[in-house]
């Protein structure tokens, strides 16, 4: 395998592993901190729950992508 391709594949594998860990941690954090409240909201106010769920999904995407990008830049900065 050529050198640039190997570096890209390694960076992708690291990013994928870090992102997977962060997604699982985020899931359990939200489940622990907001689980009961979200359940009550879903039972009593379905439309507000739907809007909030979409906002949580978008927030997760933005937050985890920025954290992953920061970690990859940190890793690449040390290795290069």
List pLDDT tens digits, range 36-77. 998 999 999 999 999 999 998 898 889 888 887 887 787 776
Domain segments of the chain as ranges = 3-79
pLDDT of residue 55: 94
Please provide the distance, in angstroms rounded to a whole number, between the alpha carbons at the two ends of the chain: 19
* Claim: this prediction has a pTM higher than 0.75: no
pLDDT of residue 79: 53
pLDDT band at 5 (very low <50, low <70, confident <90, very high): confident
Tell me which residue of 77, 68, 54, 76 sits closest to 20, measured CA to CA: 68
């Amino acid at each position: 395998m050529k050198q640039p391709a190997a570096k890209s594949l390694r960076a992708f594998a690291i990013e994928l592993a870090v992102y997977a860990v962060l997604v699982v941690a985020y899931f359990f954090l939200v489940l622990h901190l907001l689980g009961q409240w979200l359940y009550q909201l879903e039972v009593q106010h379905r439309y507000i729950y739907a809007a909030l769920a979409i906002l949580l999904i978008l927030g997760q995407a933005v937050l985890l992508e920025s954290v992953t990008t920061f970690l990859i830049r940190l890793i690449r900065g040390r290795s290069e």
